[in-house]
Structure 1
């Protein structure tokens, strides 16, 4: 949990100058041994990269898309993609520094992301997709008010920009939260 002694978080949209630092953060949260320091690792499911500079820059530059960057003491500690899709917003590319996971930071950031899309874009729902094998992560989102839809889409096998699967049954499930 955030305490009174913890420096405040600042939120801003990512810029081109942040790309390398954001790629490093996202990779550290999802891939390789560094990701095992946190609980959101995909290292047992996927090898290879989670993203690359081109993928991060694409999120920054796409109209109706933002890469919300979260800083503490001038250092990027988390990020998430927010994309406007009519009355819905899409939440993705969520990464929290593995050393800071498990203390409530993720909950704080997702609440702020929901607030921002509701107030800035008038979004009524937040959508996201999560690999179905990530049951612990899906349960975490369910505790935050997201519901499983049962609607799935295939993992992009053969496209190494998204990683190299370590198993043949990976799929994404759509989760939705009403934002009120």
Structure 2
């Protein structure tokens, strides 16, 4: 995949429906199992919803970046400005596009945006600790594990319905 083929832009409210569909396809249900980023073995239910995405799009210190090829939405990520840091989340790549460099290109664009627009000196994120393969992918891209854990929001189905009782998030950090 040639990253030059991708066009990046900031999402608007008109992208809400497409964003929810993309995020759900990457993480939940049978369709997500075509890619390697699925959480379907850990969680049922939704990954996000229209209200949550609309809230992100309206937040003044948040940006959702889209990656498109020939007008087709392939991937997205969300950035929150947090002082000298930028939080990286909602990273989603269509299952049929995973493994071909789209994710690396989106991460590189997120890093570039955070540095250029917000003068961020680091990118932070949280990953479910049971996602060893995904954490290893981020480590290969310069993130380091911090050991800082936060609990999964059990009982709040807006974030999914856990299939196991031991889910937690670990904070990862990358210097920019």
**What does residue 46 of structure 2 align with?**
49
Shift of 1:32: 0.4
The yes-or-no answer on 1:14 pairing with 2:11 is yes
User: What does 1:22-171 correspond to in 2, within 5 Å?
Assistant: 22-171=19-168
Instruction: Find runs of 4+ consecutive structure 1 residues off by over 4 angstroms.
Output: none
**What does residue 2 of structure 1 align with?**
2
TM-score (norm 1): 0.96
C-alpha separation between the residues in 2 aligned to 1:61 and 1:75?
A: 23
C-alpha separation between the residues in 2 aligned to 1:70 and 1:60?
A: 16
Q: Secondary structure at the match of 1:41?
A: coil
C-alpha separation between the residues in 2 aligned to 1:146 and 1:64?
A: 23
TM-score (norm 2): 0.98
Q: Secondary structure at the match of 1:148?
A: strand
Deviations 1:43-94 (A, max 9, x none): 0000000000001111111111011111111111100000100100000000
C-alpha separation between the residues in 2 aligned to 1:46 and 1:152?
A: 18
C-alpha separation between the residues in 2 aligned to 1:121 and 1:17?
A: 24
C-alpha separation between the residues in 1 aligned to 2:11 and 2:109?
A: 16
Q: Secondary structure at the match of 1:40?
A: coil
RMSD of aligned residue pairs (Cα, Å): 1.0
Q: Secondary structure at the match of 1:113?
A: helix
Shift of 1:2: 2.1
Deviations 1:26-54 (A, max 9, x none): 00000000000100000000000000000
Q: Secondary structure at the match of 1:111?
A: helix
Q: Secondary structure at the match of 1:81?
A: strand
**What does residue 172 of structure 1 align with?**
169
